[in-house]
């Protein structure tokens, strides 16, 4: 019984089903009452026929509703049956409001109110009104013509009062059921909202932890890089360390973007514009991609228009991210052939220009039908491709790229041929800060370059670049052509690959010719040998201009005594100062220790709050760096305990918190907790020096 009730009237059943079933219970009840009243009033057989047919048809519709779940349609059919068929027949058989006819009216009205919706409800009310008014008019006519009252004897009680009572009970029951249903529904909605809030919070915590987990090792890498840069190292190593640091910065900015992106509801990224150097931005990007391609069979070429203005005004971090996203995809989805980066200026108007970029690859390509959804969130089309080509990815890169570009007023498009390759093209409008161009070679007219390489695409790109830089150039295929070109005496430089140099020509003769040999090498080729002139592939206007500038400098400096010494950046140096680093991650601790050591600090380290406290009891410090997230006693507790120490110095010693938590408000929370300042991980030497300069008494700074 309980199961039956639960199925037909339970909380989990749809509202229209419950109301339909309640209606049917009352219709059945009234049929029983109608039959009883027919007997009592002694109505003739036709009444029983009509009532019987009505009952059978109602039972049929109830069965249909239970089978198909189409309660609205079944209720509407019952409305039509009762109001349009049964009621008029019964009415005209007797011509009065007899035999539960009132019930037919009201039940139709109640079914319309509680079960039907939309057009069915309006139609049922319309039918109800027509028949109700029609019967009133007819009753009036009947009374006037027959001189008989509409009701005889007890008929009013049997035919009017009982149906009215049934209808009232029915409507109250339906109202209670509906109210209960709406209450449950709003409780469920509240539960769902709560669940969604919980999930949102869980996502935030996850992102915060991920951010921390990624930033902490990054801290170690960047800080170790800072240490290396502050030492006397060769130009080559310095360049590589710069690339490592730039790659780390790019990773951190991508991480920040992901955090910002996952938080922004409308997927609009904030653009922060400032002046930047397009040359170093493109140089960095080319280096990152070359390093990624190390050891692969894919060739990387770059054609950069040397006349694009170097100093631009825009959001360099975002623009870099756009380049990296598109080029990274080209690397991910290309296993052989080449990737070509082409950057040109497509429009220049007053102080504005549009930078047009094409990234061409010979990778897996994209099916035509996939292209329209490619820039949607989490869109990935590689999944249904060849197993061996399955590549890691989130499907977010292109949608982030598109958001960035539309935030800057730019756009992106793609043309692709499945299994052949793709070309992603984008436009970035930028303001020009200074018209000075990207790559200018002052003495271009005096130069001439012979290019010797087996790679035809590389030769074409290089010749285009040299021509755009107004440098005379020619390509040669073999030693015969090379000798002839050298003999012309028009060329000052020979750009040649190690393979061509070793393989196809008369080396001693070449060495003695009056021409500078420049080796075209890959980024992973062994370190520069003494005196070797070289260019790293992909050769483009930036490294060509840099090469000729260095050459000119060298020529000049060979005349100046003492030139060529390494210029060391100005550093903060302290004297007789003691610092403590409290950090439970050994790598980060060592990095911070070495940075402080480099500044001349006497450094003590503690891998926990408790160790730090026992140290602070026996010696004093001029500055303390405390990691925020430590196992056991955390940063804030450690700070509190240090401040509670009896020694006077401990009450005022500057305490700087080290944290990877870059969330909004994090700084304020930590400052409110009592820290003097905040140093975001990964620790940057310049920022650490800034803190030392800011908080150390002047007499301790040298
Ligand atoms: P992800 O690479 O992380 O999956 P993206 O949004 O960057 O996400 O790219 C979306 C999809 O577009 C990729 O999954 C891939 O199927 C397709 N795609 C993007 N770039 C290329 C490309 N250069 N060659 C072939 N397919 C690409």
488-500, pLDDT tens digit by residue? Answer: 889 999 999 888 8
The DSSP code sequence of 468-527 is HTT-EEEEESSHHHHHHHHHHT--SEEEE-HHHHHHSS-HHHHHHSSSEEEEEE-TTSPP
Segment holding 367, helix H or strand E: none
Q: Which two tokens stand for residue 132?
A: 């109700």
pLDDT computed for residue 424 by the predictor: 98
Residues 6+ apart with CB under 8 A from 133: none
* Cα 203 versus chain centre, distance: 13
Q: Average of pLDDT values for 131-159?
A: 60
CB burial of residue 326 (10 Å; 0-12, 13-18, 19+) = buried
pLDDT computed for residue 463 by the predictor: 97
| Atom of ligand 1 lying closest to residue 364 CA | 25
Q: Is 70 exceeded by the pLDDT of residue 147?
A: no
| CA 276 to ligand 1 centroid distance, Å | 29
| Atom of ligand 1 lying closest to residue 394 CA | 3
| CA 367 to ligand 1 centroid distance, Å | 12
Q: 253 near 321, Cβ under 8 Å?
A: yes
Share of the chain above pLDDT 70, in %: 81
pLDDT computed for residue 158 by the predictor: 60
| Inter-axis angle of helices 101-114 and 71-80, nearest 10 | 150
Q: Return the minimum-mean-pLDDT range out of 52-56, 108-112, 255-259, 542-546.
A: 255-259
Segment holding 310, helix H or strand E: strand 309-314
**Distance separating alpha carbons of residues 425 and 333, to the nearest angstrom:** 16
| Atom of ligand 1 lying closest to residue 385 CA | 16
Question: How far is the CA of 648 from the CAs of 166, 234, 695, in angstroms?
Answer: 89, 47, 17
Residues 6+ apart with CB under 8 A from 468: 305, 306, 307, 541
Q: Average of pLDDT values for 71-91?
A: 81
Mark 261-280 as b/e (b = at least 16 C-beta within 10 Å): beeeeeeebeeeeeebebbe
**Distance separating alpha carbons of residues 183 and 571, to the nearest angstrom:** 69
| Atom of ligand 1 lying closest to residue 359 CA | 23
Q: 159 near 150, Cβ under 8 Å?
A: no
Residue nearest atom 8 in ligand 1 by C-alpha distance: 395
Q: Is 50 exceeded by the pLDDT of residue 381?
A: yes
Q: Return the minimum-mean-pLDDT range out of 333-347, 355-369, 582-596, 643-657.
A: 582-596
Segment holding 325, helix H or strand E: helix 316-332
Q: Which pLDDT band holds residue 348 (cuts at 50, 70, 90)?
A: confident
Q: 214 near 661, Cβ under 8 Å?
A: no
| CA 262 to ligand 1 centroid distance, Å | 19
pLDDT computed for residue 345 by the predictor: 94
Pairing between strand 472-476 and 421-437? unpaired
The pTM of this model reads 0.54
Of residues 166, 172, 171, the one with CA closest to residue 29:
166
| Atom of ligand 1 lying closest to residue 375 CA | 6
Of residues 554, 553, 518, the one with CA closest to residue 539:
518
Of residues 381, 460, 364, 467, the one with CA closest to residue 421:
364
| Inter-axis angle of helices 235-263 and 397-407, nearest 10 | 90
| CA 381 to ligand 1 centroid distance, Å | 7
| Atom of ligand 1 lying closest to residue 381 CA | 16
Q: Which pLDDT band holds residue 124 (cuts at 50, 70, 90)?
A: confident
The backbone torsions φ and ψ at residue 422, rounded to the nearest 5 degrees and listed phi first, read -140, 155
Q: Tell me what the pLDDT averaged over the chain comes to.
A: 81
Q: Which pLDDT band holds residue 512 (cuts at 50, 70, 90)?
A: low
Q: Which of 289, 393, 399, 404 maximizes ligand 1 atoms within 8 Å of its Cβ, making it the mutation to test the pocket?
A: 393
Q: Average of pLDDT values for 634-645?
A: 92
**Distance separating alpha carbons of residues 76 and 120, to the nearest angstrom:** 7
Q: Average of pLDDT values for 634-644?
A: 93
pLDDT computed for residue 562 by the predictor: 44
Cα torsion for 94, 99, 103, 108, to the nearest 10°? -50
pLDDT computed for residue 548 by the predictor: 93
| CA 422 to ligand 1 centroid distance, Å | 10
Q: Which of 323, 329, 363, 377 maximizes ligand 1 atoms within 8 Å of its Cβ, making it the mutation to test the pocket?
A: 329
Q: No. of H helices and E strands in the chain?
A: 24, 17
Kindly report the number of other CB atoms within 10 A of residue 209's CB atom: 13
DSSP state for residue 83 in the 8-state scheme? I
Tens digits of per-residue pLDDT, 87-123? Answer: 777 766 665 555 556 667 677 777 888 888 888 888 8
Q: Return the minimum-mean-pLDDT range out of 221-230, 306-315, 631-640.
A: 221-230
Strand partners, 298: 337
Q: Which pLDDT band holds residue 561 (cuts at 50, 70, 90)?
A: very low
DSSP state for residue 370 in the 8-state scheme? G
| CA 363 to ligand 1 centroid distance, Å | 11
| CA 395 to ligand 1 centroid distance, Å | 7
Pairing between strand 298-304 and 337-349? parallel
Tens digits of per-residue pLDDT, 653-697? Answer: 999 998 877 665 677 788 888 999 888 777 777 778 888 999 999
Q: Return the minimum-mean-pLDDT range out of 24-33, 295-304, 648-657.
A: 24-33
- Alpha helices (runs of H) in 115-161, residue ranges in sequence order: 118-146, 155
Name the range with the highest mean pLDDT among 370-379, 390-399, 662-671, 673-682: 673-682
pLDDT computed for residue 334 by the predictor: 94
The backbone torsions φ and ψ at residue 533, rounded to the nearest 5 degrees and listed phi first, read -90, 135
Q: Is 50 exceeded by the pLDDT of residue 60?
A: yes
Tens digits of per-residue pLDDT, 584-635? Answer: 887 778 778 888 988 899 999 999 999 999 999 999 999 999 998 888 899 9
The SS3 of residue 352 is strand
Segment holding 520, helix H or strand E: strand 516-521
Question: How far is the CA of 389 from the CAs of 30, 292, 334, 343, 548, in angstroms?
Answer: 72, 17, 9, 28, 42
Q: Average of pLDDT values for 215-226?
A: 79
pLDDT computed for residue 566 by the predictor: 39
**Distance separating alpha carbons of residues 580 and 643, to the nearest angstrom:** 15
| CA 308 to ligand 1 centroid distance, Å | 29
**Distance separating alpha carbons of residues 485 and 496, to the nearest angstrom:** 14
Q: Is 70 exceeded by the pLDDT of residue 143?
A: no
Q: Is 80 exceeded by the pLDDT of residue 530?
A: no
Q: Which of 267, 366, 414, 422 maximizes ligand 1 atoms within 8 Å of its Cβ, making it the mutation to test the pocket?
A: 366
Q: Average of pLDDT values for 209-216?
A: 72
Q: Which pLDDT band holds residue 470 (cuts at 50, 70, 90)?
A: very high
Structural domains of the chain ordered from first start: 2-192 (no CATH), 235-437 (3.30.565.10), 444-557 (3.40.50.2300), 578-700 (3.40.50.2300)
Q: Is 90 exceeded by the pLDDT of residue 369?
A: no
| CA 382 to ligand 1 centroid distance, Å | 7
Q: Is 60 exceeded by the pLDDT of residue 261?
A: yes
Q: 367 near 383, Cβ under 8 Å?
A: no
Q: Which of 258, 292, 322, 333 maximizes ligand 1 atoms within 8 Å of its Cβ, making it the mutation to test the pocket?
A: 333
Residue nearest atom 20 in ligand 1 by C-alpha distance: 329
Name the range with the highest mean pLDDT among 37-46, 417-426, 623-632: 417-426
Instruction: Please list every protein residue whose CB sits less than 6 Å from any atom of ligand 1.
Output: 329-330, 333, 361, 363-366, 374, 379-382, 393-399, 422
Q: Is 60 exceeded by the pLDDT of residue 426?
A: yes
Question: How far is the CA of 531 from the CAs of 69, 364, 503, 516, in angstroms?
Answer: 87, 42, 21, 11
Pairing between strand 352-361 and 337-349? antiparallel
Q: 447 near 323, Cβ under 8 Å?
A: no
Question: How far is the CA of 162 from the CAs of 168, 329, 558, 583, in angstroms?
Answer: 10, 78, 119, 85
| Atom of ligand 1 lying closest to residue 379 CA | 10
Q: 98 near 159, Cβ under 8 Å?
A: yes
Tens digits of per-residue pLDDT, 431-441? Answer: 999 888 999 89
pLDDT computed for residue 527 by the predictor: 56
Residue nearest atom 23 in ligand 1 by C-alpha distance: 330
614 vs 272 pLDDT, higher one? 614
| CA 417 to ligand 1 centroid distance, Å | 14
pLDDT computed for residue 431 by the predictor: 94
């Amino acid at each position: 019984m309980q199961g039956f009730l639960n199925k037909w009237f339970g909380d989990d059943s749809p509202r229209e089903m419950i109301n339909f079933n309640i209606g049917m219970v009352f219709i059945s009840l009234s049929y029983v009452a109608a039959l009883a009243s027919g007997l009592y009033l002694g109505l003739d057989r036709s009444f029983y026929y009509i009532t019987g047919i009505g009952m059978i048809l109602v039972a049929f519709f109830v069965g249909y509703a239970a089978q198909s779940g189409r309660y609205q349609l079944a209720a509407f059919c019952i409305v039509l049956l009762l109001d349009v068929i049964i009621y008029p027949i019964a009415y005209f058989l007797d011509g009065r409001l007899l035999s539960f006819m009132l019930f037919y009216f009201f039940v139709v009205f109640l079914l319309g109110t509680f079960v039907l919706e939309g057009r069915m409800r309006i139609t049922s009310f319309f039918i109800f009104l027509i028949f109700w008014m029609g019967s009133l008019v007819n009753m009036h006519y009947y009374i006037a013509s027959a001189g008989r009252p509409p009701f005889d004897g007890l008929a009013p009680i049997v035919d009017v009062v009982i149906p009215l009572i049934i209808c009232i009970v029915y409507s109250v029951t339906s109202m209670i059921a509906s109210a209960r249903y709406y209450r449950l529904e709003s409780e469920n909605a509240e539960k769902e909202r709560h669940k969604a809030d919980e999930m949102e919070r869980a996502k935030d915590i996850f992102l915060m932890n991920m951010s921390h987990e990624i930033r902490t090792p990054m801290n170690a890498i960047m800080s170790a890089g800072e240490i290396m840069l502050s030492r006397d190292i060769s130009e080559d190593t310095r360049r590589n360390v710069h690339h490592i640091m730039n790659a780390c910065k790019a990773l951190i900015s991508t991480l920040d973007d992901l955090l910002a992106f996952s938080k922004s509801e409308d997927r609009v990224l904030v653009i922060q514009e400032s002046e930047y150097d397009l040359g170093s931005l493109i140089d960095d990007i080319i280096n990152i991609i070359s390093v990624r391609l190390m050891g692969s069979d894919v060739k990387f070429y770059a054609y950069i228009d040397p006349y694009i203005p170097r100093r631009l005004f825009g959001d360099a971090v975002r623009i870099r991210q756009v380049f990296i996203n598109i080029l990274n995809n080209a690397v991910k989805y290309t296993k052989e052939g080449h990737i070509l980066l082409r950057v040109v200026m497509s429009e220049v108007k007053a102080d504005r220009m549009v930078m047009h970029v094409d990234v061409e690859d010979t990778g897996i390509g994209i099916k035509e039908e996939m292209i329209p959804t490619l820039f949607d969130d989490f869109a990935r089309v590689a999944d249904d491709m060849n197993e061996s080509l399955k590549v890691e990815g989130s499907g977010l890169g292109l949608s982030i790229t598109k958001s960035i570009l539309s935030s800057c007023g730019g756009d992106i498009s793609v043309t692709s041929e499945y299994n052949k390759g793709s070309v992603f093209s984008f436009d970035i409008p930028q303001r020009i800060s200074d018209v000075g161009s990207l790559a200018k070679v002052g003495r271009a007219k005096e130069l001439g370059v012979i290019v010797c390489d087996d790679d035809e695409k590389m030769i074409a790109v290089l010749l285009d670049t040299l021509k755009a830089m107004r440098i005379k150039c020619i390509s040669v295929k073999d030693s015969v052509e090379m000798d002839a070109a050298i003999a012309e005496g028009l060329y000052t430089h020979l750009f040649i690959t190690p393979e061509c140099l070793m393989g196809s020509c008369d080396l001693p003769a070449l060495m003695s010719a009056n021409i500078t040999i420049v080796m075209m090498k890959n980024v992973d080729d062994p370190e520069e040998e003494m005196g070797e002139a070289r260019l790293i592939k992909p050769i483009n206007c930036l490294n060509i201009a840099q090469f000729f500038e260095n050459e000119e400098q060298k020529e000049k400096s060979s005349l100046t005594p003492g030139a060529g010494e390494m210029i060391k950046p100005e550093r903060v140096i302290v004297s007789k100062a003691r610092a403590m680093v409290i950090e439970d991650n050994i790598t980060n601790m060592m990095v911070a220790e070495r940075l402080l050591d480099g500044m001349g600090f006497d450094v003590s380290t503690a891998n926990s709050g408790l160790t730090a406290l026992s140290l602070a009891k026996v010696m004093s410090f001029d500055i303390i760096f405390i990691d925020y997230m430590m196992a056991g006693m955390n940063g804030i507790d450690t700070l509190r305990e240090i401040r509670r120490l009896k020694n006077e110095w401990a009450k005022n010693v500057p305490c700087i918190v080290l944290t990877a938590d870059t969330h909004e408000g994090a700084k304020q929370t930590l400052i409110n907790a009592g820290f003097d300042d905040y140093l975001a991980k990964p620790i940057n030497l310049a920022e650490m020096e800034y803190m030392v300069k800011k908080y150390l008494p002047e007499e301790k700074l040298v």
